[in-house]
Amino acid sequence: MFKMENETDNELNSPISNDSGSILVGEGVLLEGRIVNAKDTNISGTYNGSVSSDSLYISKNGNLTGDIKTHDMTINGKFTGDIRTENSLVVNSTALAKGNFEYSTLEVKFGATIEGMVKHSGSLSTFTPSEKIPSQEEPHDLDAQSLDSSSEDNN
């Protein structure tokens, strides 16, 4: 199912090594779930779920459905969902992207399909590519904390 020799063909524009933080969903693979704290993510197969990664690359045959948080993102294939990129979002001519796009720099090549809300945000000061896992609750909400004076939740 994992054809390693074929996967290298798709890596010309997105070097993926055995470095920590890299994830590759190879062509023909169907994966569902949540990707957190990744450095380089390459979607050449089909992935349904959220991604939090420094850089995210969707190959021409890649198909991604979900919520994305990245610094840099390149779309060559299909995407449906919400994207928040702190730095650059590149939508190439073969791309078919639908959803909500929040970006700092947006580049769209002639021929691409991009549909939905596009929003420029110059400075995302609160942005962290390493998404907090929801179970690690933080007392960020003072009102909620004062209401829950009995700290049974932390036990």
Partner 1 sequence: MSIFGSQEKKENSEDKFTFPLSSNTNSHHSFISDDLEINGNITGKDYIDFNGKITGTLRSNKIDIREKGLVNGEVHAENLIVAGEVDGEIKVDDLYIRSTAKIKGVIKYKNIDIQAGAIITAELIKTI
Cβ proximity to partner 1: between 6 and 113 the closer is 113
CB of 70 to partner 1, least distance (A): 16
Cβ proximity to partner 1: between 23 and 108 the closer is 108
End-to-end CA distance of the chain: 43
Would you tell me which residues interact with partner 1 (CB under 8 A)? 88, 105-120
CB of 12 to partner 1, least distance (A): 21
CB of 47 to partner 1, least distance (A): 23
| Cβ partners under 8 Å of residue 61, min gap 6 | 10, 27, 44, 45, 77
- Classify the C-alpha dihedral 12-18-20-22 as positive or negative: positive
Distance of CA 104 to the CA centre of its chain: 15
Cβ proximity to partner 1: between 45 and 77 the closer is 77
